[in-house]
Chains A and B, each alone.
Chain A
Amino acid sequence: QKEVEQNSGPLSVPEGAIASLNCTYSDRGSQSFFWYRQYSGKSPELIMSIYSNGDKEDGRFTAQLNKASQYVSLLIRDSQPSDSATYLCAVNISPRGSYIPTFGRGTSLIVHP
């Protein structure tokens, strides 16, 4: 079983819609969760981090964490074509250690005008 799983997509949404990206993880002891955005040919950049159950909002982005169900999601409201990218979920998984994120393979998002 993969440690961090994401649907590879592509997820295609119209401009202005809500994009919903999901991620599940295997380690119940995980404490730290991250979403990175990676444009084609570029390196990942951190967009959200979340550490406790519930929602965390930052502008058009909302991260949702449910530790009991072992999933974390990212909602992008009012999606723009510039949001088209691959979104990587990362989780700090033991026993590797608290500070080494394990990445999912990413979900490709396409926002069409």
Chain B
Amino acid sequence: GAGVSQSPSNKVTEKGKDVELRCDPISGHTALYWYRQSLGQGLEFLIYFQGNSAPDKSGLPSDRFSAERTGGSVSTLTIQRTQQEDSAVYLCASSLGAITNTGELFFGEGSRLTVL
């Protein structure tokens, strides 16, 4: 597709359940980022993938959060044993990559997670 694609757009789950959020970056973009945005808050960095390098996981808030990126393209963010404070919009973004990367990010439309 032409832009960053995220699914699902909305997810309502019960406390304690696991959820998976998917991101398909722009074709040719080697860098992929996950951020989350709580209501009225700024963007909180979660994890960064660059090509085949080890991901930067420094923003993950707890060990309930994990992410993988298969084949240097699609990424999945997994939240285990969800808590109400995990409710937020999870935003995926991609950019060109390390050599040409200027930090200019292209965002998907986000996945809104509501934990009841």
Which residues of A come within 8 Å of B, CB atoms? 32, 34, 36, 42-46, 49, 51, 88, 90, 92, 96-106
A35 to chain B, nearest CB (A): 11
> How would residues 39 to 75 of chain B score, 1 for a CB under 8 Å from any chain A CB and 0 otherwise?
0011101001010000010100000000000000000
CB–CB B56/A49 < 8 A: no
Which residues of B come within 8 Å of A, CB atoms? 31, 33, 35, 41-43, 45, 48, 50, 56, 58, 91, 95, 98, 101-110
B59 to chain A, nearest CB (A): 8
With A43-B91, A88-B42, A105-B41 known to touch, is A99 a contact of B108 (CB < 8 Å)? no
Query: CA separation between A34 and B43, bound complex, in Å?
Result: 14
CB–CB B56/A43 < 8 A: no
Given A96-B45, A96-B56, A97-B48, 19 other A-B residues pairs in contact with their CB atoms under 8 A: A32-B103, A43-B91, A43-B109, A43-B110, A44-B91, A44-B105, A45-B107, A49-B102, A90-B103, A96-B58, A99-B48, A99-B95, A99-B101, A100-B33, A100-B48, A100-B56, A101-B45, A101-B103, A103-B43
Query: CA separation between A84 and B48, bound complex, in Å?
Result: 30
Query: CA separation between A91 and B95, bound complex, in Å?
Result: 15
A45 to chain B, nearest CB (A): 7
With A97-B48, A104-B42 known to touch, is A46 a contact of B31 (CB < 8 Å)? no
Contacts of A102 in B (CB 8 A): 45
Interface centre among B48, B105, B109 (most CB of A within 10 A): B105
Contacts of B110 in A (CB 8 A): 43
B75 to chain A, nearest CB (A): 15
B4 to chain A, nearest CB (A): 9
Query: Closest residue of chain B to A96, judged by CB?
Result: B58
3 nearest A-B pairs in the assembled complex, by CB-CB distance: A105-B42, A103-B43, A43-B107
